[in-house]
Structure 1
Amino acid sequence: MHVIISSYIYAGPQILAEIGNELWEEISKGLDVVGFRAFGSVCKTWNEITVRTKEDFLESQSPQVLLKSSNEMDIYYLCDMSRGKNTTFELDNTSNKSFVGCTGGYMIFESKNHHVKFINPLNGHEIRYAIMSFHFRGQPHHDHIVLATSLSSKSRVLFALSNNKREYKVYHSGVGKWYYGVYDVNVTDIAIFRNKVYLVTSEADFGELKINIADASFAWMPVHQIPNDDSEDLKLIVTNDQLFLVDFVPAKHLNIYEMDFDTMMWIKVSDLGDKALFLGGKGHCAMRRPGKWGHLSNCVYYLETFPARCCIYSMESKLIHMIPLVGKSGDQVSSLGWYCPDQCMKVKYLNMDYEDETIEENA
């Protein structure tokens, strides 16, 4: 598909003009996220097509499973269950690093000296940071790391948190400095919603990351109705204009709440409608209309690590179906979590001509 588009581009403006917008729109639908983004940067007409079709295109991108080869170092797979195919890719020098999770379309790896590498598995784009640390030298220890690139088109926020030492670090590129702080709760998850960074604790306390010139700290929200869920695995999941709090134990219980920011209350959700949740491993999400890629709605897709498989549960937490996951030629794999290609479209600074930026801070 990329070759076809390139051929048309080099054919000249006359041939481009002869091809109608409807055909170009059909061509754009067959692209992956990287190709779709590049398609929109070619000319004004193609940009208008991508702007008009962006929402439908994003909904057509099903979550994919990140798999790690058990037999070959630095070999990974993106498993697209909707199309029944695996994409193999190699990430050099990651076998000795800890996989932390995904953020904004990037996989996050942390080395023993606290150097963090963000890698986009679709196009190989990398961003590197050296996170300042005061404890556990020679041992990666951050439970959560997010790169909030959509807070501003001109700045980025790196937020790293360690439950083990109850410390967090924040780097704000707009200010150009690191912030350090400590806390006394157990943070189970972090999410970016409406251009703000939120976090939840094992006791369902709900907070927001606040950054100013002087410091960066948590502002705990005055929630009037806190779920009676004490769990070490509470998740914050963003979908469209909703923020969910999810407490899920396979085959035991599934509790879902939506935050009503007008009343500051968690409202119990018993029916997801046309949505589905994708949980398990170090990556989770929610998607609308999964039937577009052959999946079920109003249920949970849950990843088990090894043997790698995807288990589908009903809203009553009952097992519906089980899908085994394998690598190339039967390669044994372990599942890392869900990867959402559509997240790449939400990274404002990721242009085709963007150069890698390495921010090194002495610990």
Structure 2
Amino acid sequence: MAYIPVDVVELILMRMNPKDAVRLGTSCKDWTGAAARVDPTKRKAPWLLVQTNSDTTCALQSVRDQKVLFKIRIHGFVLRHYHFGGSWNGWLVLQPNRHGQISLLNPFSRARWDLPILPRGGLPSRSFFYMSSAPTTSGCVLFVRKLTMLYVWSPGHEFWTAEHVEATEFNSIVCVEGQFYAMNEEGRLISFRVFPLRIRELHVCRPPAYNVPRQERFLVESCGEILYVVIAEHESTEMSVFRLDLGNRAWVKTTRLGDRALFLHWKQGISVSAGEAGCKGNRVYYSRRYDSRNVWRVYDMEKQSFTRFPRRDSPHRSFHDNVWITPEN
């Protein structure tokens, strides 16, 4: 049998559905090693998981190479009855469109958690979720806000803990070194703990231009720091990033992220090392909900400008929900 150089093998495998590439990698030792390097579950870069018109499969889009797109089966769910509540540490929150059970799913390992039924019926469309870590890790906490109620669940709990909050609270949550932080619609920053819920206002000045309408706002944990990102909606090219200076109780505008890259979608923010993920650093990758024209947009912090990545199929096709997901076993 003729010898094929390993770099050529990798090029072949990278053009395949990664799961098929892993199976093909069992052919021989060299191919096994090469397949492991193109297996999406081994990469640190987030992928864009997109609901399509299928009831059983989603599209998984590579951020490293837009040409790499393949289908992944979502087992055990009829997808038209669900939408994505978010994704954290490789786990997807699946929220039923009507009354029903919220589920956590790792689409790569197929591990699944069906959560207790929420009291007082179902959730309104587009409820806000946040999960502190994978449900398989110690200390995982899942939050869901329903109007003036904040429901809290942790693995091992048979029921949700319900807490009454103000209607404007908890629009964005991050966890830094075991401490939770949240921002409300008025730009007020709080720290809090759960079981029971204890809230403390930090008296930090509101971020600049917080009252500007039609903006998307995100809190992101990045290397132990809290970042606040604001993006003008629609086709605007405006974006600002602020770093929390807790000592001076102020938000400080920054134009440099260094090696970090941020991935944003629907109040969810992920920070990764660009060097480890294989993407470009000092950039913000932003995916809008139900964007039929663009897969995502990338904001270059140095140039202060967006680059758009249009869809390669029908640009006017009605796409469904999407979410950034970082594959983890």
TM-score (norm 1): 0.68
Please point out which of 58, 82, 106 is paired with 2:64. Answer: 82
Q: 1:65, CA displacement in angstroms?
A: 1.3
Does structure 1 residue 30 correspond to structure 2 residue 37? yes
C-alpha change, 1:142 and 1:170, in structure 2 (3 Å) is: farther
Aligned partner of 2:219 in structure 1 is 236
Q: 1:281, CA displacement in angstroms?
A: 4.4
Please point out which of 267, 283, 300 is paired with 1:314. Answer: 300
The code of the aligned residue for 1:256 comes to V
Q: How does 1:123-202 map to 2 (within 5 A)?
A: 123-134=109-120, 137=121, 140-141=124-125, 143-149=127-133, 153-162=137-146, 165-173=147-155, 177-184=159-166, 185-202=168-185
Contact 2:86 2:323 in 1 (8 A): no
Aligned partner of 1:274 in structure 2 is 259
Contact 2:219 2:267 in 1 (8 A): no
Deviations for 1:58-106, whole angstroms, at most 9, x for unmatched residues?
xx52221121213x22321110031321121122322112321212311
Structure 2 CA distance, aligned partners of 1:311 and 1:169? 33
Does structure 1 residue 95 correspond to structure 2 residue 80? yes
C-alpha change, 1:118 and 1:275, in structure 2 (3 Å) is: same
Q: 1:273, CA displacement in angstroms?
A: 2.6
Secondary structure of 2:280's aligned partner: coil
Q: 1:331, CA displacement in angstroms?
A: 11
Contact 2:60 2:69 in 1 (8 A): yes
C-alpha change, 1:152 and 1:216, in structure 2 (3 Å) is: farther
Deviations for 1:192-251, whole angstroms, at most 9, x for unmatched residues?
322333221122211233123xx224333232x331313663201122222211111153
Alpha-carbon RMSD: 3.6
Q: Which runs of 5+ in 2 are unaligned?
A: 1-20
Structure in which a larger fraction of residues adopt helix:
1
Please point out which of 250, 263, 267 is paired with 1:265. Answer: 250
Share of identical aligned residues, percent? 16
Does structure 1 residue 226 correspond to structure 2 residue 206? yes
Aligned length: 297
TM-score (norm 2): 0.74
Q: Which runs of 5+ in 1 are unaligned?
A: 9-18, 37-59, 346-363
Q: 1:292, CA displacement in angstroms?
A: 6.3
Contact 1:208 1:219 in 2 (8 A): yes
**Displacement over 6 Å in runs of 4+:** 4-8, 26-29
Secondary structure of 1:227's aligned partner: coil
Q: 1:161, CA displacement in angstroms?
A: 0.9
Does structure 1 residue 245 correspond to structure 2 residue 228? yes
